[in-house]
Amino acid sequence: MKTTKRLYRTRKPDRIIGGVCGGIAKYFDIDPVFVRIICVVLILITEFAFFVYLVAWVITPIEKVELPEPEVEPEVEPEIVK
């Protein structure tokens, strides 16, 4: 079964403000610092980039955390000594 890549906002510790840049970096498999630098430069140059970031923050779901299944020890019946 083929799994598809999905864009998610990252959780801590990869998350700085909204997790959008960290999620984009994880999706494209690059360093999040580069994405954050590009985002800050775009926000400083245009106001439109700030609104795009806010919209992405609202509509992008948070990544799901897969918790490991707890190991259950089998029940052992006590031995009856006669």
Q: For residue 73, is it within any domain?
A: no
User: Angle CA(48)–CA(45)–CA(39) in degrees, nearest 5?
Assistant: 75
> pLDDT, tens digit, for every residue of 3-56?
777 777 776 766 677 788 888 888 888 888 898 899 999 999 998 998 998 898
pLDDT at 10: 73
pLDDT at 69: 73
More confident: 77 or 34: 34
pLDDT at 1: 54
Q: For residue 74, is it within any domain?
A: no
pTM of the model: 0.65
Q: For residue 56, is it within any domain?
A: yes
Total domains in the chain come to: 1
Q: For residue 72, is it within any domain?
A: no
pLDDT at 14: 63
Residues with Cβ < 8 Å from 26, sequence gap 6 or more?
8, 10, 14, 32
Q: For residue 71, is it within any domain?
A: no
Range of 54's domain? 1-65
pLDDT at 47: 84
